Amino acid sequence: MVVYRRPQPSSQAAHRTADTCIEAFDRELDYLFVTLRRLGAAPQEVEDLVQDVFLVLYRNWKSLDTSRPLRPYLFGVAYRLFRAHLRRRRREVPYATLDPEDDVPGPEGSFQSKESTRLLLAALARLPLSRRAALVMHEIDEVPVADVARALSLTRFGTYARLRKGRKELAAAIRRLSKGERSDEARSPFVRS
Amino acid sequence: MKHDHRSFDRDLAVLLKRARVVPLLPEVVRARVLARARVTAVTLAEPARRRGS
């Protein structure tokens, strides 16, 4: 006896879920790339990390409250994945303190080539990751402190403390970088005295 | 000195404001990332589809 099966409603639902999830992912792709760069990911690492963010998003899509803004959630996922990635990189790579400002931008890197952005990224890279993440989320993405605290699993007090210290460190890093560039030129072995 | 601090704070505020712009990805990168995501979604959906769950 041949049993004809109608297409499974759940299978259609799965397709719809995948489509809506990929559409949302597509809308936030630019944001994810720039966020991972701001957090300190090297240009060549970003695509793999974005793929990891998609995996988490896809697995949790059904339980996500899509009426709320997606960016704070995506930021939290990107932050945790990048933090885990950094831990792995520190274990695996003997030269763990690769300076992002020395990275050669790939063919896709030109979208971030403005001098001021480069200076800000280099300065952010000098901050500890937890303070860097809070600062990027609040000062650049303009996410309210309560949402920053929720996305990064911090208390509100802890978030304020990270922001206060992070602002000071960022200002100091920018000052050092601005001064350092000039003094490096003066001390450069390629400049004859 | 105080004046220097104020002008530096202003410069920092301008720098942060300028950084709020989210640059658009090149289309080729977007296409590559989305293609990878679609393959992943299909792969993950396949066992569930077979189970009919």
Q: Is A47's CB within 8 Å of B40's CB?
A: no
Indicate whether A175 belongs to any domain: yes
Indicate whether A3 belongs to any domain: no
Q: What DSSP string runs through A16-27?
A: HHHHHHHHHHHH
Instruction: Classify the phi-psi angles of A126: left when phi > 0, otherwise alpha if psi is within -120 to 50, otherwise beta.
Output: alpha
When scoring B8, B29, B32, B43 by the number of chain A Cβ atoms within 10 A, the one with the most, hence best to mutate, is: B29
CATH number at residue A133: 1.10.10.10
> CA A53 to CA A137: how far, in whole Å?
17
Phi–psi pair at A125, nearest 5 degrees = -60, -20
End-to-end CA, chain B:
69
Question: What is residue A128's predicted lDDT score, i.e. its pLDDT?
Answer: 96
Indicate whether A16 belongs to any domain: yes
Interface of A with B in 80-119 (CB under 8 A): 108, 111-112, 114, 116-117, 119
CB atoms within 10 A of CB A86: 16
Question: What is residue A127's predicted lDDT score, i.e. its pLDDT?
Answer: 96
Same domain, A47 and A86: yes
| A33 to A39, A115, B7, B23: CA distances (angstroms) | 10, 18, 31, 9
Indicate whether A60 belongs to any domain: yes
Number of domains chain A is built from: 2
Same domain, A52 and A117: no
User: Is residue A18 less than 8 Å (CB to CB) from chain B?
Assistant: yes
Same domain, A23 and A84: yes
Q: pLDDT (tens digit, 0 to 9) for every residue of chain A, 193 residues total?
A: 455 555 555 667 777 778 899 999 999 999 999 999 999 999 999 999 999 999 999 999 999 998 889 999 999 999 999 999 999 888 776 554 445 444 444 434 443 446 888 889 999 999 999 999 999 999 999 999 999 999 999 999 999 999 999 999 999 999 898 887 544 443 433 333 3
- Whose tokens are 């945790």? That residue is A80
Contact A147, A161 (CB under 8 A): no
Same domain, A81 and A149: no
Helix (H, G, I), strand (E, B) or coil at A129: helix
CATH number at residue A47: 1.10.1740.10
Same domain, A27 and A57: yes
Q: In terms of residue numbers, what domain contains A27?
A: 11-94
The complex scores an ipTM of 0.80
Indicate whether A138 belongs to any domain: yes
Interface of B with A in 10-49 (CB under 8 A): 12, 15-16, 18-20, 22-26, 28-30, 32-34, 36-38, 40-42, 44-45, 48-49
Same domain, A75 and A122: no
pTM value?
0.78
Question: What is residue B46's predicted lDDT score, i.e. its pLDDT?
Answer: 74
